[in-house]
Amino acid sequence: MTGEELRALFKTTLDPDLIRGLVDEYGVQQRDRKLFVVELIIALILTGGTHEGGRQYDVMRTYLENTTTKVERSAFYSWFNEPLERLLTVLLGRAIEAGQRQTKLLPGILSGVTDWRIIDATTVRLRGELFDVYPGAGDYAALKIHKEWSVGTGNLFSYKITPAREHDSPHLVVDAARSGSGIIADLAYVSLRRLDDCERHDVRYVVRLKENWKPTIDRLVRGTGFPAMAKGQDFDSLLEDDVIIRDGNPIDADVTLGRGALRVKSRMVGLSTPKGYCFFLTNLPRSTHRPTDVGDIYRVRWEIEIDNKVDKAGARLDEIEARKPVSVRILLLASMLNATLAKAIIQSESVAIVAEKKAPADPAGRGPLHPISLIRLMASAQPTVIRLLLSVEEELFDWTRLMARFRNYAADTSWRRRPSVLDVIQGLTAPMVKPPPRRPTVKKAAGSAS
């Protein structure tokens, strides 16, 4: 990402004139008072770091460091209200749109769709007094953030906040709007009706086979020396009778799922793992995707688990001690804004790295950015970001210098040793660098002077 692109990202998402306009439109500032609203928003979004107190206290401390007006804590907390929540909702929407406008990385087995989306939810524990508003699955208060994550852009595509007690499945809708895309989801979202919807709306899917489903074999392509014996038979029975051989090689079959009025045809793939065979369902064609390709695409689902970790460990999503529901939602929105901006920067860098690797002059390339390291750097850069956003003059050099700081100090140090499945597919890997040869040690003769 260049300095100009970094400036465009921040000014598109956090334009001071836009923020002031939303303040007036939503009534964030109810009476005349010296509220430095841009400084407040930046403090909300980029605050991280010390973990010495609650999130709201840290936001206030950061806000006061960037302004000259003293404010009482009670007055500061009163700003956490519904108008501010609506303002942050708009800004998060703009950040998501900016992230989705970036170039998608969908090479190799990820191609053939407009994008792959991973569907999942993450739970955030809250204070006990919020149980009536956000009941958890047990006797505690918690909420869920239902996330749809874009594999192509490496960023948040959409979200919904609900009580944690709500089930995940109703929050995934497969309709004509998804035509041409792909879905990777865990078992909480898998149903026969949903697979049927994917077929009707031209949506590709890769999911795990549920244990209680009893597929019937229509055609066994790989996995036995007697394929004719498998046709029309129950899959579990074929496994028990060793007609389907689990010898470490992939299993690939066309199957029918369902026994009643709803019957769904699918492709089932079995792959050997250290814990035994793992079975997947997909409608990806064999002409483009081998069984191992199907398994690799499902393994990409782990990226949203990493994304949840980044939200919590980097953007402090799980450090919410607020006592009011609206304050909780404000802090959630601020955390997601923080992470979405960081991942937009990372995606731009990754696209540039892939392009650089195609140049023969630079076969090794450089590493991608580490999201948690970048979020922490963004927190320390708050004064610079505020100054540049409020500057009336062009400060391109300073934006370029800020981007160089991000690139130099947020580099992922383990990208050579532990690349993810997605890194490998997207080409974000490099050969290991051989350590320099060790200098031979020379033993001194006994009695020689030191």
Task: Tell whether the model's pLDDT for residue 365 goes beyond 80.
Answer: no
Q: Computed from CA positions of residues 49, 50, 51, 55, in that sequence, does the dihedral angle turn out positive or negative?
A: negative
Tell me how far CA of residue 24 lies from CA of 28, 228, 417, in angstroms: 7, 73, 51
Domain boundaries, the chain: 3-100+328-426, 206-290
* pLDDT tens column, 305-350: 988 888 887 767 777 788 899 988 998 898 899 999 999 999 999 9
Q: Which long-range contacts (CB under 8 A, 24 or more apart) does 222-226 make?
A: 222/249, 222/250, 222/251, 222/252, 222/253, 222/291, 223/249, 223/250, 223/251, 223/252, 223/253, 223/270
- Please tell me the predicted confidence (pLDDT) of residue 110: 97
* pLDDT tens column, 192-246: 999 999 999 999 999 999 988 989 988 888 877 666 667 777 888 877 777 777 7
Total-model pTM: 0.86
Of 371 and 63, the structure prediction assigns the larger pLDDT to 371
> Which is nearest to 43 in space by CA: 63, 22, 28, 70?
63
Task: Tell whether the model's pLDDT for residue 389 goes beyond 80.
Answer: yes
Tell me how far CA of residue 306 lies from CA of 294, 301, 303, 402, in angstroms: 20, 9, 5, 26
Q: Could you tell me if 347 and 5 are in contact, meaning their C-beta atoms sit under 8 angstroms apart? A: no
- Please tell me the predicted confidence (pLDDT) of residue 292: 96
Tell me how far CA of residue 187 lies from CA of 77, 99, 201, 212, 410, in angstroms: 41, 28, 21, 12, 35
